[in-house]
Structure 1
Amino acid sequence: MGASQTVTVDGHRLRLSNLDKVLYPASGTTKGEVLHYLAQVAPVLLPHAANRPATRKRWPDGVDGQMFFQKNLEVSTPDWVRRRAIQHQHSRNDYALVNDLATLTWLGQTATLELHVPQWQFGRTGVRHNPDRLVLDLDPGPGAGLPECAQVARLAREILQGMGLDPFPVTSGSKGIHLYAALDGKQDSDGVSAVAKELARYLEAEHPDLVVSDMKKTLREGKVLVDWSQNNGNKTTIAPYSLRGREHPTVAAPRSWDELDDPGLRQLEYPEVLERVARDGDLLAPLLRGHLASLEPTAERLATFEPADDRLTVYRSKRDASRTPEPVPAPPDAGGAPPPDGSPAAEPTFVIQEHHARRLHWDFRLEYDGVLVSWALPKGEPDDPAQNHLAVQTEDHPLEYGSFEGTIPKGEYGSGEVTIWDAGTYELEKWRDDEVIVTLHSAERGSRRLALIRTGGRGGDDENSWLIHRTRAQPGGAEDEPAPASASTSASASASASASASASASASGTVPDAGTTATKAPDLRPMLATAATPGDITGDGWSFEMKWDGFRAICVVEGGRVRLISRSGQDLTVTFPELQALAGTVDGDAILDGEIVALDPAGRPEFGRLQQRANLRRPGDVERARKRFAVDLMLFDVLAAGGRSLVGEPYDARRAELERVVHPKPPIHVPPAFDGHSAEDLQEALDTSRELRLEGVVAKRRRSTYAPGRRSRDWLKIKHERVQEVVVVGWRPLHAKTGRADPRSMGALLLAVPDGGAADLRFAGRVGTGFSEKDRRTLATLLGERERPDPPVPDVPREELAGAHWVTPQLVGEVAYTERTTDGRLRQPVWRGLRPDKSVEDVELEP
């Protein structure tokens, strides 16, 4: 099999690349072999994954590299991939439906090894059904294994059969066993979860030496956890027949009950699974029979939708059909039409109505999801890319409203004259809860491309605030004047100056704000996150990103060259020459925000490895260190692209642009983000971060703009380990075995942290562990250059004064510690390294 080829699957052309890339080094399994497995197993995998929103785990660099967790479909997803939106409290997000071989092949091409799905399906109309199966995850704790899981599976089988359910076992491909049982769809997820929880508790009560139902690790020694929680409607389980991203290419493999009695029971790898499928077919096939038909929306069921399914409830509540000529269709429970299918029509329509109400405005309506999604435009449709207009989202209107003209009587909602200003069809380019891009086609006013961008926060008083923007790119290849720099300003020109001018402006401290004219340099200071705890994340509308343990860098890509600027304004370009690869992954010029990391052999960031590259500038030193400690670049934001500033646009718009302009390949990465709608979403992100041994999570408000150089509560960082950035204020000599102090060798550092603000420091104790001999030598040199006669902080304890050497507070480092005392001292600190990328002003007290 070649390194790449183009194939046609289900009528769709796909380019399959890097087919000889090894994804499982332990077995030598290549990407081409993974794609072959998916093609062979598709007839039995797809029925168990179809119509379920898929969560994906990707290993682009193989299972020894970084894993990326993805829920939402990225911008580059082929338009033929079927998808459904899940309506969260204030937003809608698109998930892939793994319904066909073409989609499965596309997922394999993206190195998606694991597919996770919930226990419920979408119906044909997009309605979310009740669960059609129950699942129990039998997970062995330390000292237990598959034999114990098999024993618990047999105990659970007896109980489930007593309830009239017939369970089927699946060895998970990881450590344990999953039990599935078909349901009739009469109970919702909460009801199924309650039953599964009681079953788990019963097993625990009857077999306390073998079973535990609590997830606390301290209770699981030698026992099997019966995890019932995956029946929650927001949780997912590895799909049957999915590969696992483990050392070997194991599979979530259906098994027979006789096999569970085998003392040699083990997890199966994909070649064995293919042999079994060829011989035995799908052992889970009974899970698909009999109960699914009752879940599909027949003509009879379509006529009995509950009012909660009705998107016109608000519209009807504001109108009386006997007093207004506007169309007011009856609700579904009163004999009205059922909610239509969730997908847009082949040629959806639009209408713009001129509305002479109390104040003249224009109503812009797009046919979508069987209704007219509507915005009020106080100044009408913009005709200049440099002038954005306000758009206020209003209630959805019925499709019949698209042809309405007439007079709404005085005293009625929206009273005044309504005429059609323009109407026609539109092409949909993007529809998200905070961004819509369409091309309108009208016989009277021609074709034009427009974008709607939400500027208000979800759940707040301004959640319906949007801007409507006429894009620079127009149909037929036409191009209007340059688009505005920010979606939140109606007319601001933008561009980026040369990288050299940017760097000098940054270093001088006279950097003007981004979004100014092209004659001025953009602000190259990164936006900063505020330290927080999980309890600080409240409400909806967050995005959760992994927190990378590295050096922050603003990356200026211009004319095929890359310039790297640290958060303190230092030029890092010569220190990390391998990151010139960024230029080859970006469409055009851009200014990007990211983190430089050094990965260990397991593909996880290790700050100690990165320290070996810090402060090196001579080519020979850089090259020697580079051979031992390569670095990668994790990108997570974009400040400008194509000569247009993006700092004023909301996070989601910037994220979409980042995914559009960057085509990552090692060492350049664009890690995925988690949507944040609940505490469970945050916990899932934190759990993934811990699984990857990362530093924590950064929560970002999806409505937030980019604030260069500012620390904002729109970005909150949550760390797993107690880690504190510290300012070095002094040192104590190393004592030799004779007990005498060696004034030439650093033994411990004396530390300070902010006391209310960066300008005020208070003593925080000392750290004497975690240093290598090289660290001690390097620090001795740096400290000697900053000697001063007296302490730079006022509250040093008397016992720390004797023998101390004091320095001007300029060096910033980082320590891990166990706890903070009431007087602000750090207990049992361990040195993690210098932070040359940060200044004293950057240090803040962690929560």
Structure 2
Amino acid sequence: MTLSKYKQKRNFKETTEPVAGKPETGKHIFVVQRHHASRLHYDFRLEVDGVLKSWAVPKGPSMNPADKRLAMEVEDHPYDYKDFEGTIPAGNYGAGTVYIWDKGTFELMNPDGKSFDKEALRELKSGDLKIVMKGKKLKGEFALVKMKGKEDNAWLLIKHKDKYAVDEYNSEDYTPERVKAQGEKEKAAAKVAKKKSVAVVRSADAKKNTKEKSSPATPASAKKAARPAKKSAIKKVYKPMLTTLVREAFDGDNWLFETKWDGYRAIASVEKNKATLYSRNEKSFNKDYPPIVAAVEKISHNVVLDGEVIVLDNKGHADFQSLQNYKTTGKGKLIYAVFDLLHLDGHELQQLPLLERKSLLKDLVASLDDPAIRFSTHVLKKGTAFFEKARKQQWEGIIAKKADSIYEEGRRGLSWLKIKILNEQEALICGYTAPRGSRKKIGALVLGIYENKKLKYIGHCGGGLNEALITELYDRLQPLITKTSPFSEKVTTNMPVTWVKPSLVCQVKFQEWTGDGHLRQPIFLGLREDKPAKEVRPEKAKNLTMATTIEKERTLTLNSKKVPLTNQSKIYWPDEKISKGELIDYYLAAAQYILPHLKDRPLSLHRFPNGIKGPSFYQKDLDLEHAPAWIKSVPLLADSTGKEVDYLVCNNEATLAYMVNLGCIEINPWLSRLSSLDKPDFMVLDLDPENIDFKYVVETALHIKDLLDSFKMTSFCKTSGSTGLHIYVPTGAKYPYDATRLFAEYIARHVNEELPKSTSVVRAKSARNKKVYIDFLQNSRGQTVASPYSVRPKPGATVSMPLDWKEVNEKLKISDFNIHNSLERINEKGDLWHDIKSVKNDLRKVIREIESNTGA
């Protein structure tokens, strides 16, 4: 078979499947793709002679030699298909969703020392190909054997008996939506434990082995390189993965949704039937909740569990106040609701996908069969309906988790989200007021939180305090009494205050936040023994679009156009773990503010296909052959080559998403529009520091503003998002680039004369070392400047942020504005540059004034 048959079957204007691909030298790759077409099946592909030889395996490959899997040979696929994941549109050949199930390299089991491809082709022609696979899931020796007397394309995929073979193995074990019901608990427990333990050992070992480089030598050396990793001891402390608060519920194909339990987060570490139960701040819960400790100690494996200690009321709802009372009364239905498994019998599981960890955990809890330990169930995809159920049943909220997410200890990222129904907040007890009326000892608690490392007063709380609670709190607060207030601000109360050191954390529910940042009608729920005091901060919900990247591949309908978005999970900022999908979500959320600054302007594309640490390139000439028909472009002659270049023009969300999907982290428009390409809307000065403190950039910017103010010219300032500042002076598209550049040069040289020690107007880096370079050369036809609200390919995912001139001071930092907080700032302050288009400075009048003053 050849690629011609592959190409005949596909319409590449509608599908994103690759057309071709040139193999890399070195090892030969294999890939197994899970394909949801008319029927679910697995596509098994081996690189041979420059293409991917391909088979459709209905039940998927098996690690059990007893399973002889039917494999139907199909057309050869191009080499680049090894990376393909996404949705093939309806009406096309193979329509459905494809994602990579396993990937790795393979070798011939009996190499003849000659050409790999010739020997592989010979074995395929003979109908008996024997290989050694080195994947994440498929490892060891396999055979592809052509069936005699059957269709010409019918083969069997068979696992050989070797050290990787298992007695039971099902490819569907790795997709819990297909996990089979287990039958009778006692009989199933041993069977499941065996199967799942083997599967997880293989997965955990494979993840470590794939990080190691193995030599492309003989099958014997391959086996040696793929030797299972040594078992790991249980760590002393595991830091819980944390959630991020978002504003609303959502649906998502790659998400699962759980109950948000109202209790204490707890890690249970069990080794040789001895358990340690501890909180987020490593406080032991062993003496507080002995029934849970006794229950987990019955687990016959060495494990580490993550969950929530709760007390259920008579309606089956978690009740935090009942949990508070449990330690003194011992009353209530005490439960450990577990939702994650971090360690199993010498294997760290954090790198396994969440659904695999939960599948193992579910079987573990079932085999334990103890009512004190409950598996925290979930629903797939339908978060909106689950949230409505939670609202009707008056839960605290729900948790949304990416189904394929790894466990990131101690990190609060965007893979685990929480959506609250009730307003609750942790707070620090900073004092208490004197009682009034019949109340004794305590009138109300004075509450605070940390904001920017500074303790802030958020109100006082008297609701929810009964006599027993007041006595307990009073006794706990006496050793913490201090003479001075812990707040730097003055706090006004109706009654005298006794101040205490802010070390006790409590939880309150409340109606809303007031305009001055106080809690309205707070009610005390209990003390939080599991939360460190220094981590008590206000929780502000993120926009949903910033928090959820729902699929690896997705297609959005924007401006009535279908926009396919690829590789959404690809990491663009490795240190910050920010994905391509999150970048696109930011731009779409900020589109209404960005697009007015892009409208009808030619754009230069600066593409980072592999993120900020990968290679990048500039592209002015748009590839119209492969661009959608609805993309707007403009042909212009390039000054450097004299050739016609097709520039992209971005006037809507669809084009913005398309452009960012190409890898354009930053947006770089011209200073002029199509209606007057030779007359820019602005004069721009780019302040670029070279090995000098940022305070000198601020100083330079303020000198420039003073000079412009003296000419009664209105100017605007923004951070570059990189290292400096950009100053824009609107000119109304009335003057040619030569005039605006000469005026910019005048301003630059004048300020340079005022600040000769800290500024430079010379472009050469050697001449501007330890100085702020005032760049006026950007004022030329075809030059670009990062757009307002553009993300920059810099550490921290910084954003080029419009500023109020009052913000240009010694406190200003480039890092203050990034992809995570910029939308919140815009929501609070609005678009500070919304009226920049309406400002039209009279440049001719200013030039005449300068000439008059200088006698020119």
Report if TM-score (shorter chain) is over 0.5.
Answer: no
Which entry has the higher C-alpha Rg, 1 or 2? 2
* TM-score normalised according to structure 1 size: 0.43
* TM-score normalised according to structure 2 size: 0.43
